[in-house]
Amino acid sequence: MPHAKIRKAVIPAAGLGTRVLPISKALPKEMLPIVDKPAIQYIVEEAVRSGIEDILIITNRNKGVIEDHFDHVPELEARLASSGKDDALQELNGITRLANLYFIRQKETRGLGHAVGCARSFVGAEPFAVLYGDDVILGDDPACGQLCRAYEEFGLGVVGIKEVTPEQILRYSSLKVENLRDNLYRVTDMIEKPSPDKVLSLFSILGRCVLPPAIFDILDRTPPGAGGEIQLTDAMLALARTQGMTGVDFTGKRYDMGNKLGILQATCEVALRHPEVGDDFRKYLKELAATL
Ligand code: UTP
- What pLDDT is attached to residue 226? 82
Mean local confidence (pLDDT), 137-151: 97
* 158 Cα to the center of ligand 1, angstroms: 20
* 113 Cα to the center of ligand 1, angstroms: 10
84 pLDDT higher than 90: yes
- What pLDDT is attached to residue 252? 97
For residue 55, which phi and psi values (nearest 5 degrees)? -130, 125
- What pLDDT is attached to residue 194? 93
Tell me the per-residue pLDDT of 173-196, one tens digit each, with 9 for 90 and over.
999 999 999 999 999 999 988 999
Residue 241's closest CA among 200, 196, 207, 195?
A: 200
* 84 Cα to the center of ligand 1, angstroms: 41
Mean local confidence (pLDDT), 119-146: 97
Q: What is the CB < 6 Å shell around ligand 1?
A: 12-19, 58, 106, 109-112, 114-115, 132-134, 258
112 pLDDT higher than 70: yes
**Which amino acid is residue 13, in one-letter code?**
A
Give the pTM: 0.95
CA distances from 44 to 98, 134, 138, 204, 267 (A): 8, 12, 12, 23, 18
Tell me the per-residue pLDDT of 47-73, one tens digit each, with 9 for 90 and over.
999 999 999 999 999 899 999 999 999
Q: List, in sequence order, every residue forming a beta bridge with 248; answer none if it has no partner.
A: 160, 184
How sure is the predictor about 1, in pLDDT bands with cuts at 50, 70 and 90? low
* 212 Cα to the center of ligand 1, angstroms: 21
Percentage of the chain surpassing pLDDT 90? Answer: 96
220 pLDDT higher than 60: yes
2 pLDDT higher than 80: no
Query: Does residue 232 contact residue 178 with C-beta atoms inside 8 Å?
Result: no
- Find the Cα–Cα–Cα–Cα dihedral 68, 27, 47, 211, rounded to 10°: -120
Percentage of the chain surpassing pLDDT 70? Answer: 100
Look at ligand 1, atom 15, and give the residue with the nearest C-alpha: 132
User: Which run of H or E residues covers position 176?
Assistant: strand 173-181
Which residue among 44, 134, 254, 256 is best mutated to probe the pocket of ligand 1, counting the most ligand atoms within 8 A of its Cβ?
134
Closest-lying ligand 1 atom to the alpha carbon of residue 19: 13
Residue 57's closest CA among 110, 99, 25?
A: 99
Which residue among 16, 56, 256 is best mutated to probe the pocket of ligand 1, counting the most ligand atoms within 8 A of its Cβ?
16
How sure is the predictor about 227, in pLDDT bands with cuts at 50, 70 and 90? confident
Tell me the per-residue pLDDT of 16-44, one tens digit each, with 9 for 90 and over.
999 999 999 999 999 999 999 999 999 99
